[in-house]
Amino acid sequence: MTPKPTGKGALHNRKRRGIPRGARRKPHVLEILSRLRIEYPDAHCELDYASPYELLVATILSAQCTDKRVNLVTPALFAECPGVRDLANMPAERLETLIKSAGFFRMKTKSLLGMANAVVDRHAGEIPRTMDELTALPGVGRKTANVVLGNAFGTAAGVTVDTHVGRLAIRLGITSETDPIKVEQELMVLVPPDDWTLVSHLLIFHGRRICDARRPKCEQCVVRDVCPSARGD
């Protein structure tokens, strides 16, 4: 039997055989995930909601807006629109007034009313439970659909990639991709499916509390020794 090559020759052969990049990065990602899971045992979606409908609305409002601001806006909105049919029937002018402080209120009003009417017309007023059905709704992309599916329905169809997740994925050496879809695709390979929803929460928690975009608190970071940015790699 011919012995298997070792050393540099073996590495060259592995590269030549086209081993996926994810295969070399997976232990790195799982180590980060393990440490962040211990650091943030209560990591969760920080949008306030009591139903899939409320989470869908809140997530649409969260575009270019903080969760804290959205949580200040939604109580009055849900008081007037406790259900999707109420939202579908709300005059645009009134909806704009209620959500104005969340920013981009005209665009978000169009998205919310379009979504609500589509849910009523196509799904008898029930928020759909599949990626294809959700992303077919006006104003709903993969990020929003992943938030709703993972948190309201407990279905891990993908990984939510928001600004924090995309930024930390690069900074922590998880990916070099900048397109959210490509970042999600890589994370789905590197992270076990059961953790697809959790990994977003962990990265978001870490990004908000420690790994700030401008001034990361590397001295307080639990993954600094495995972070290429902190090490200056």
Q: Give the residue numbers annotated as catalytic, written as ranges.
A: 143, 162
> Amino acid letter at 141?
G
Q: Which helix (H) or strand (E) holds 209?
A: helix 196-209
Residue 194 one-letter amino acid: D
Nearest to 165, CA basis, from 20, 31, 33, 24: 33
Where do the H-state alpha helices sit in 40-158?
52-61, 67-80, 84-88, 92-99, 105-123, 131-135, 142-152
For the record, the structure tokens of 95 come out as 């909806």
**Diameter of the chain measured on Cα atoms:** 78
Chain mean position to CA 68: 16
Q: Is the dihedral of CA 217, 223, 229, 233 positive or negative?
A: positive
User: Residues 6, 12, 13, 16: what is their CA dihedral angle, to the nearest 10 degrees?
Assistant: 170
Name the helix (H) or strand (E) containing 160: none
3-class state of residue 103 by DSSP: coil
